[in-house]
């Protein structure tokens, strides 16, 4: 039996968010034959993140596809001559690798039977994107007591912003820094909205010499979405 070109449209959507578009670097898609491990196709999703009103604010029935106008996608082109059990994996967002996750799913594909209509092959990416802006990692303090500013950029995995009373209401997220010394938690610092979308800040006073780590995390109780980033600072006089 001759191989038949078979199309699989892959889209990646953030949990409680929109599609991973070009503005956040998209996601890397790989398609493999589960039985043999053969790479069948690979590429990046391209396009926009989709329409906020249609995706986030318009009710849909269970069988109604998510609106994909202007939504990023990767169309895998498979040349198969028999039923093939595929694994599709998405890794991203590429524009925020420090917070990137990997998700995958499997499905049988029949030669010549495209998976392109409706949602296509849809993967949901959980988590939150967290980037520490201050302090710079490995910050060496010149004296104590010393105040360390802790600032972070926190977004949905699609790059969608958190703002007070916005579509993604920052008041409904827990954003804080866990301060550790020698592997033990010594304090917690709540980060408050800093006046610009997705920007949060707080501070902590270093009173004793030593090496410190700040684990800056964001948590969305309604969905369980969680993301974090780490940074170190220290005061160790000669």
Out of 110, 125, 140, a domain closes at 125
Out of 125, 144, 175, a domain closes at 125
What is the pTM for the complete model shown? 0.93
Q: What is the structure's pLDDT at 1?
A: 62
Query: β-pairing, 121-125 with 4-14?
Result: parallel
Q: What is the structure's pLDDT at 238?
A: 76
Q: What is the structure's pLDDT at 100?
A: 96
Kindly report the length of the chain: 238
Q: Are residues 19 and 112 in the same domain?
A: yes
Q: What is the structure's pLDDT at 170?
A: 98
Q: Are residues 17 and 105 in the same domain?
A: yes
- Mean pLDDT of all residues in 39-46: 98
Out of 107, 125, 143, a domain closes at 125
Task: Look up the domain containing 97 and give its range.
Answer: 4-125
Tell me the pLDDT tens digit for each residue of 107-131: 999 999 999 999 999 999 999 999 9
The percent of residues above 70 in pLDDT, for the chain, comes to: 100
Spatial strand order of the sheet with 174-181 comes to: 139-140, 225-235, 210-220, 174-181, 184-190
Q: Are residues 224 and 137 in the same domain?
A: yes
Q: Are residues 42 and 114 in the same domain?
A: yes
Q: What is the structure's pLDDT at 65?
A: 86
C-alpha 13/C-alpha 181 separation (Å) is: 37
The answer for residues whose C-beta is within 8 angstroms of residue 118's C-beta and 6 or more apart is: 65
Q: Are residues 185 and 173 in the same domain?
A: yes
- Count of structural domains within the chain: 2
What's the chain's average pLDDT?
96
Q: Are residues 149 and 195 in the same domain?
A: yes
Q: Are residues 8 and 101 in the same domain?
A: yes
Strand ranges (E), 46-191: 46-49, 71-80, 84-92, 101-109, 121-125, 128-134, 139-140, 146-156, 174-181, 184-190
Q: Are residues 99 and 53 in the same domain?
A: yes
The answer for residues whose C-beta is within 8 angstroms of residue 89's C-beta and 6 or more apart is: 29, 30, 31, 32, 102, 103, 104
Q: Are residues 17 and 119 in the same domain?
A: yes
Q: Are residues 73 and 25 in the same domain?
A: yes
- Mean pLDDT of all residues in 95-104: 96
Q: Are residues 116 and 147 in the same domain?
A: no
- Mean pLDDT of all residues in 26-34: 98
Q: What is the structure's pLDDT at 32?
A: 98
Q: Are residues 136 and 117 in the same domain?
A: no
Considering only 34-48, 55-69, 120-134, 146-160, which range has the smallest mean pLDDT?
Answer: 55-69
Domain holding 202: CATH number? 2.60.40.10
Q: What is the structure's pLDDT at 70?
A: 83
pLDDT band at 30; cut points 50, 70, 90: very high
């Amino acid at each position: 039996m001759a191989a038949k070109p078979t199309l699989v449209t892959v889209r990646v959507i953030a949990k409680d968010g929109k599609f991973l578009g070009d503005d956040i670097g998209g996601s890397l898609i790989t398609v493999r034959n589960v039985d043999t491990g053969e790479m069948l196709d690979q590429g990046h999703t391209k396009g926009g993140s989709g329409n906020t009103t249609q995706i986030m604010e318009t009710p849909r029935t269970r069988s109604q596809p998510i609106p994909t106008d202007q939504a990023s996608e990767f169309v895998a082109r498979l040349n198969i001559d028999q039923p093939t059990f595929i694994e599709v994996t998405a890794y991203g967002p590429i524009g925020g690798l420090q917070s990137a996750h990997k998700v995958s799913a499997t499905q049988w594909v029949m030669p010549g039977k495209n998976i392109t209509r409706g949602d296509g092959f849809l993967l949901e990416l959980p988590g939150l994107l967290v980037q520490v802006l201050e302090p710079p990692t490995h910050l060496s303090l010149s004296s104590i007591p010393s105040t360390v500013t802790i600032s972070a950029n926190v977004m949905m995995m699609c790059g969608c912003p958190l703002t007070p009373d916005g579509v993604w209401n920052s008041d409904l997220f827990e954003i804080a820094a866990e301060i550790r010394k020698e592997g033990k938690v010594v304090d917690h610092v709540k980060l408050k909205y800093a006046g610009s979308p997705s920007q949060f800040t707080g501070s902590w006073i270093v009173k004793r010499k030593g090496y410190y780590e700040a684990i800056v995390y964001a948590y969305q109780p309604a969905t369980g979405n969680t993301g974090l980033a780490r940074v170190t600072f220290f005061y160790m006089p000669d």
